[in-house]
Each structure stands twice: as C-alpha cells, then as structure tokens.
C-alpha cells in the first residue's frame, strides 16, 4: 500500500468533510465525500483497495466525530463489499452501475451508521433518520457520484501509469 499518497488524500477528504461539507444541509441531505471517494475508487480500481480505503477513511472520519469509533469504518467496508459483488455487473455503463451502487451502498451506509449508533446507546429516531436524512442524502450523493468519478478515474490512471497502488 502506498500510504504516502493514500493517507494524505483520505485525511484531506476527511477534513473537507468535517470542516466544509458537514455544514451543508440541503433539505436534510448532506454530501458525503468520503463515501463517494471510497465507492468510486472501489469501482475504478479494485475492491481490495476500496476496502482498505474505506476502513482507513472511515476511521479518520470517526476520529473527527463525536460518535463511536469504527462506525463509519464499518459502514464503508460494507459499502465497498457490496460494490464488489457481481450482481451489478450487467448494468450498462460504469457510470450507470456506479449510480445503482451509490443508491444501494448509500442506503446500506446510513442503515449501518444508525444501527451502530443505536447499538452504542445513542438516541435514534428511525423514521425521521431514514426518511428525512438518509433518503435525501442518498439521492444527493447519487447526483454527485459522476462528479467524483471523473477525478478518481483520472487519479487511478495516473497512479497506474506510475506503478503505484493504494491498497
């Protein structure tokens, strides 16, 4: 694993998420850059790299959060695992498949976050969380997926050309 590239990148993503994007609230929806980066990386490069990215990126996010450490890491590992399954392979173009994965993965991501929060004793309003936060966020992240896909595929090509791997 090339930690010299992966770690700074994931740290910057986590800081952008914590400092800038966490203040964005579009009708309950919040862009989740770490989720998008991990998902697109898993599709663009490999699931193995996505799993490692998801775990490390999730831990950095958790360290910036007041919530339980490991919650986001677990959620992102599951998202990447879902991205690695063969059930979505037959869906049109890579971007189209990515949108479907963003939908399924996004729902799984929020569901796992909520389960972990409930498990660790936090108050969880399930109906409000799912309908007013998770659903709008999943839709917003689906819309944003192609915008993250482009730079991530570019980065993937660039690293491949230089013989670097991130996971």
Partner 1 sequence: MKQSPRRPWLPLMLVIIGLFLLVLRETGYLSPVESVFGYVLDPLQRLFAGVTADVGNMFQSVREARELRAQIEELQSRADTLMVGNIRLREYKAEVEQLRVMLNFVSEYPISAYVGADVIGREACDAFPCGEVIGADPNPYLHYITINVGAKHGVEVGDPVVGAGAGLVGRVAEVGPRTSKAQLITDSDSSVAVLLQTSRATGLVVGQLDGTVRMKYIPQGEEIEVGDVVLTSGLGGVMPKGLVVGEVKAVEGMDYELHQEAVVQPAVELDRLELVLVITGFEPVPRDEETPPSEATPEATPEPTPEGSLEE
* Residues contributing to the site for partner 1 (CB under 8 A): 11-12, 14-23, 25, 28, 30, 32, 34, 43-48, 51-52, 54-55, 58-61, 63-74, 77-78, 80-81, 83-86, 89, 94, 110, 113-114, 116-117, 119-125, 128-129, 132-133, 137
Shortest reach from residue 39's CB to partner 1, in Å: 13
Shortest reach from residue 158's CB to partner 1, in Å: 17
Q: How far apart are CA 38 and CA 53, in angstroms?
A: 6
Tokens (6 digits) for 11: 């740290």
When the beta carbons of 136 and 147 are compared against partner 1, the nearer one is 136
Shortest reach from residue 150's CB to partner 1, in Å: 15
Shortest reach from residue 29's CB to partner 1, in Å: 9
Tokens (6 digits) for 123: 């108050």
* Cα first-last separation, the chain: 5
42, 80 contact by CB (below 8 A): yes
Q: How far apart are CA 28 and CA 138, in angstroms?
A: 11
Residue 98: C-alpha distances to residues 64, 82, 91, 127 (Å): 28, 12, 9, 27
Shortest reach from residue 147's CB to partner 1, in Å: 19
Write the DSSP symbol of residue 84.
T
Q: How far apart are CA 141 and CA 102, in angstroms?
A: 7
């Amino acid at each position: 694993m090339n930690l010299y590239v992966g770690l700074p990148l994931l740290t910057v993503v986590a800081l952008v998420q914590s400092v800038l994007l966490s203040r964005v609230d579009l009708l309950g929806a919040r862009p989740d850059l770490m989720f998008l980066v991990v998902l697109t990386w898993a599709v663009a490069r490999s699931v193995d790299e996505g799993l490692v990215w998801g775990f490390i990126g999730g831990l950095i996010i958790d360290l910036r959060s007041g919530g339980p450490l490991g919650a986001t890491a677990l959620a992102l590992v599951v998202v990447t695992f879902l991205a690695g399954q063969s059930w979505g392979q037959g869906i049109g173009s890579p971007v189209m498949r990515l949108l479907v994965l963003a939908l399924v993965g996004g729902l799984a991501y929020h569901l796992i976050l909520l389960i972990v929060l409930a498990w660790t004793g936090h108050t969880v309003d399930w109906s409000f969380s799912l309908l007013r936060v998770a659903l709008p966020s999943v839709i917003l992240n689906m819309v944003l997926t192609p915008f993250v896909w482009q730079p991530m595929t570019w980065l993937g090509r660039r690293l491949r050309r230089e013989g670097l791997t991130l996971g």
